């Protein structure tokens, strides 16, 4: 990844406090900030501080980070009075990626999400479990040649 590309990535700029969007939560690995076009009352994005292109996601070393992102996003929703049952939490499939920097959408309440947005997102959103399942399946395939 060249410096030029890194500098061009909006989410890297946010992680480095170099953007008008300021994270409201962060830890050593990731930041949380508001989506510019919220789909409901709360719509956060959780992004790792390291640049991971979504399409290059599928390696074993990222599984722990994915779990951490989900935990952090959930705790941010819970702290603000959200509940997990009523939330929508998901990653984009690579094809639906708006920004090529891995990020998790955390939306609450899911009941506020417009039909138009849902239709758009149902095409492109995958749950964290699905994503981790895909990563593990790909790993098994690379190791054993057996994609089950």
Smallest distance from the beta carbon of 50 to Zn ion, in angstroms? 8
Q: Which stretch binds Zn ion (CB under 5 A): 59-67, 71-79, 96-104, 106-114?
A: 96-104
* Residue 110 β-bridge partners: none
Binding residue for Zn ion, selected from 76, 101, 102, 131, defined by CB under 5 A: 101
Upper half-sphere CA count for residue 54 (Cβ side, 13 Å): 22
Smallest distance from the beta carbon of 65 to Zn ion, in angstroms? 14
Of residues 108 through 147, those in contact with Zn ion by CB under 5 A are none
103 is a catalytic site residue: yes
Smallest distance from the beta carbon of 76 to Zn ion, in angstroms? 16
Q: Please name the helix (run of DSSP H) or strand (run of DSSP E) that holds residue 21, with its range, or none.
A: none
Binding residue for Zn ion, selected from 12, 40, 46, 102, defined by CB under 5 A: 12
CA-to-CA separations, 52 to 8, 41, 56, 86, 120, in angstroms, rounded: 14, 28, 7, 29, 24
CB atoms near residue 35 (< 10 Å): 17
Chain residues binding Zn ion by CB under 5 A are 9, 11-12, 51, 98, 101
């Amino acid at each position: 990844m060249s410096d030029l590309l890194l500098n061009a990535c909006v989410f890297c700029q946010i992680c480095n406090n170099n953007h008008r969007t300021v994270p409201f939560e962060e830890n050593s690995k990731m930041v949380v900030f508001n989506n510019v076009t919220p789909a409901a009352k709360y719509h956060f994005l959780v992004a790792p501080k390291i640049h991971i292109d979504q399409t290059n996601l599928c390696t074993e070393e990222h599984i722990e980070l994915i779990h951490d992102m989900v935990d952090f996003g959930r705790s941010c929703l819970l702290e603000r009075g959200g509940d997990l049952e009523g939330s929508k939490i998901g990653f984009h499939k690579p094809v639906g990626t708006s920004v090529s920097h891995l990020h998790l959408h955390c939306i609450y309440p899911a009941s506020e999400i417009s039909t138009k947005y849902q239709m758009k997102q149902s095409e492109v959103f995958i749950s964290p479990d699905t994503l981790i399942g895909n990563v593990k399946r790909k790993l098994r395939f690379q190791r054993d040649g057996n994609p089950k």
